[in-house]
Each structure stands twice: as structure tokens, then as C-alpha cells.
Chains A and B, each alone.
Chain A
Amino acid sequence: MNLENGIQTAIFYILSALIVGSAFMVVSLKNIFHSALFLVLCFFSIAGIYILLSAEFVAAVQVLIYVGAITVLLIFAIMLTAQLYSPSIRQSNEQVIPGLIIVGTLLIVTLSVLRRTSWRISTQGIEGQTIVSIGKFLLTTYILPFEVVSLVLIAALIGAIIIARKE
């Protein structure tokens, strides 16, 4: 049990380092195509974090939607806006120093609030496969949000086609 905990902690720190490092690359690299590739690495590591939190269905959805669909869409957009990913174009504006100050303040405040809050940690763990109970919840308790979000998705996709099509 103790060894298992140690392995879990080690995996958590490795995945965290991957996530934070690749996310930093995403926001700071000059070549935006390389940023998109680091985004893929970041999404994969986050799927690993979900598995560590025993949310295997969410991890699968993360790989399918984020790694599969959204990144491909982003790379398509980068390719279609052709000369923009040449490294000669300046990619960041002149707000780097104020941005760093704001983000540092936000991080310090958030971490101190997190440390002081006393969460009501449940002693139970997640038992069995989550995918069964997620399916049951989606078709009973959350049936209305489920249908509404599917309408939102179809409306957004039709809207995207109409916006992007040539006159």
C-alpha cells in the first residue's frame, strides 16, 4: 500500500511537470505550430491526471475530443492562415511584464486561499467503473442539460459552417 502511494505520487509529479512545462511552451514559443504540438502533449498528460483521479471515461473523452478533434482543428486553422507561423513575426505584445505581475499575484492569492480552506473530504473512494454510473446519471438526473448541450453543439457547428463559408 505504501509503495503504491509512493508510485502514485511519483506519477503525479512527473505528469505535473509535463503539464506545466508544455503549457509554458504553448504560451511562450514563437512558432505557433510548435505551440500546437506542445498543446497535444499537455492534453495527453492531463488525461493521465484524470486516470490518476479514477475518471477513466473522462480521460478517454479528453483524448478523443481534445487531442483528436480540437488540436486537429487548431492545426488546420494555423495551416490556413499560412504565413503567420513563420518565426519572423512577433508573437507577443508589449504586455509581458504587466501580465507576469498580474499572473503572479493571482497565483499567490489562489494558492494561499486553497491552503486556508478546509475542504469536506469524503472518506469514500470511487468504486468500480465510473462509466456505468455516468451513463445512468446522464440519462436520468442530468437528462435536460444533456439534451440542451447537444442542441448547443449542433447550433454552434451549423453556425461555424455558415460563418466560414464563402459568399
Chain B
Amino acid sequence: MTLYHFLSLSALLFCIGIFGVLTRRNAIGILMAIELLFNAVNINFVAFARFINPQGLTGQIFTIFVITVAAAEAAVGLALIILIYRQHKGVEVDKINIMKW
């Protein structure tokens, strides 16, 4: 169990998340893929805290901050999605183009 194992797992998870962001049509699906990206970053932080700076625990504290900001992001994002759904009767991101010239 070395640092490389954990970083590889995180890279794999990050790539899956990027794929989801690129290919989903549903805005909620994109939000779920973004949560996967946050989790990949968190695995990196915790692995660095364990293997590189075990006394300072900086990585774990940053992970807590990231989780807090992710909660805020999910709340605002889902509120926006519900608002868009009320006005457009759909949340497909390729149909929401009212801000495009």
C-alpha cells in the first residue's frame, strides 16, 4: 500500500467524473459527476496527509473544508436546477440556451 496506489485510484475516479461532466445531458447528472470529482480530490488530500505530512494533518483539514464547500455547491446548484425546471419544464443542458446571444 503506497501513495501511488491511492493517487492512481483518485486519478481514475477523477477521469470517470470528467467523462460524466462531458457526456451527461441532464443537469442533475452533471452535478453528480461533479461530486465524484470532489471525492477524487479528497482522496488525494487524505492520502497526502497520511503519507507526506502525518504530523500536521493539513490534508484532512482541507478535506473538511472541501466537503463544506461541496455541500454549499450542491444546495445552490439544485436550487438553480429546480428554478430552471419550473420555467422550462426540463433540465437538459443543451436545451437551456436563453443566455446565448
Q: What is A's interface to B at a CB cutoff of 8 Å?
A: 5, 8-9, 12, 16, 19-20, 23-24, 26-27, 32, 35-36, 39, 42-43, 46, 49-50, 52-55, 57-58, 61-62, 65-66, 69-70, 73-74, 76-78, 80-81, 84, 90-93, 95-96, 98-100, 102-104, 106-107, 110-111, 114-115, 119-122, 124-127, 130, 133-134, 137-138, 142, 145, 149-150, 152-153, 156-157, 159-161, 163-164
Query: From DSSP, what is the main secondary structure of chain A's interface residues?
Result: helix
Alpha-carbon distance between A134 and B13 when the two chains are bound, in angstroms: 26
Chain B residue numbers with a CB within 8 Å of A103 are 15-16, 18-19, 22
A35-B29, A49-B6, A66-B35 known; 5 other A-B pairs, CB under 8 Å? A27-B23, A27-B24, A92-B25, A110-B15, A114-B11
Q: Which residues of B contact A (CB under 8 A)?
A: 1-9, 11-20, 22-26, 28-29, 31-33, 35-36, 39, 42-43, 46-47, 49-57, 60-61, 63-65, 67-76, 78-83, 85, 90-91, 94
Q: State A9–B9 Cα separation when bound (angstroms).
A: 13
Q: Are B76 and A163 in contact (CB under 8 A)?
A: yes
Partner of B79, one of A19, A66, A106, A160: A160
Taking a contact as CB atoms under 8 Å apart, the answer to whether B67 and A163 are in contact is: no
Contact A99 B19 (CB under 8 A): yes
Which residues of chain B are near A153, meaning CB under 8 Å?
A: 68-69, 71-72
Min distance, Cβ B63 to any Cβ of chain A, angstroms: 5
Q: Which residues of B contact A137 (CB under 8 A)?
A: 56-57, 61
Consensus secondary structure, chain B interface: helix
In the bound complex, residues from chain B placing their C-beta under 8 Å from that of A96 are 23
Asked whether A99 lies within 8 Å of B71 as measured between CB atoms, the reply is: no
- Which A residues are in CB contact (< 8 Å) with B70? 65-66, 70
Report whether B46 and A50 are in contact in the complex, using a CB–CB cutoff of 8 Å: yes
29 A-B pairs whose Cβ atoms sit less than 8 Å apart in the complex: A20-B13, A20-B16, A26-B33, A27-B23, A27-B24, A27-B29, A27-B33, A49-B46, A50-B43, A53-B50, A66-B70, A74-B28, A77-B82, A81-B28, A91-B25, A93-B94, A103-B19, A103-B22, A107-B15, A114-B7, A119-B3, A119-B51, A121-B3, A122-B54, A126-B49, A134-B57, A137-B61, A142-B61, A160-B79
Residues of A within 8 A of B73 (CB): 156
Bound: A54/B51 CA distance, A: 11
A70's partner among B35, B54, B60 (CB-CB below 8 A) is B35
Report whether B23 and A134 are in contact in the complex, using a CB–CB cutoff of 8 Å. Answer: no
Chain A residues with Cβ under 8 A from B33's Cβ?
26-27
